[in-house]
Every structure is written in structure tokens, then in C-alpha cells.
């Protein structure tokens, strides 16, 4: 993958992380359920919702993903460190989505 494509992907994931954090913050503020769409949960999670704890985790994950991807895009931290950080946050997000799903 070329450096330009990698840079564009990190900017895209930064925007995605901010959008997820805003969605989670709005659902926490209003008390409405966090219902996954295709853009934030994929085909497997679309239509399912999170508990209050899941919304809180999703807020932190969104902020974390945005910060890590922005740091990676701007070369504020070494590339290998940023990659492991983004991978950890992504795995945390996936696991927490399944663990905190409402029945």
C-alpha cells in the first residue's frame, strides 16, 4: 500500500472515529438506544443495539480510534506503535460490541 493511500485511510478512520463518538454521546445524552447501522457495525451488527455500558465504551473507543488514527496520519507516533494501538482499539470495539449488546 502506498503511503498516500495509507494517509487517506487514516484520515478516513479519524473521521469515522469522531462520527462513532458523536453518535454514542448523543445516545447517552438523549437516552435513545445506540442502534448499529451498516457504517458502524457492519452487516452482522446492523439493527442491534447496545446497553448503557456499551454506549460508554463505544464513546471511548470512538475517541480513541480518532486520536490514534490522527496520530498515525500526522506521524506523531511511530508507525508500528500506531498500528498496534489502532489494532488494539479495533479488537476492543468488536469484543465490547458483542459483550454489551442488549438482549
Tens of pLDDT, residue by residue over 58-96, are: 999 999 999 999 999 999 999 889 889 989 998 988 888
> How far does the chain reach from its first CA to its final CA, in angstroms?
40
CA distance to 1, 6, 7, 49, 96, per residue, from 72 (Å) = 15, 9, 8, 30, 23
Where in the chain are the domains? 3-99
**pTM listed for this prediction:** 0.87
Amino acid at each position: 500500500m502506498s503511503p498516500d493511500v495509507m494517509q487517506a485511510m487514516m484520515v478516513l478512520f479519524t473521521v469515522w472515529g469522531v462520527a462513532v463518538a458523536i453518535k454514542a454521546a448523543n445516545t447517552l445524552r438523549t437516552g435513545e438506544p445506540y442502534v448499529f447501522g451498516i457504517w458502524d457495525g457492519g452487516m452482522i451488527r446492523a439493527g442491534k443495539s447496545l446497553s448503557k455500558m456499551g454506549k460508554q465504551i463505544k464513546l471511548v473507543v470512538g475517541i480513541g480510534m480518532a486520536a490514534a488514527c490522527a496520530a498515525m496520519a500526522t506521524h506523531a507516533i511511530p508507525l508500528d506503535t500506531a498500528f498496534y494501538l489502532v489494532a488494539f482499539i479495533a479488537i476492543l470495539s468488536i469484543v465490547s460490541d458483542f459483550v454489551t449488546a442488549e438482549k
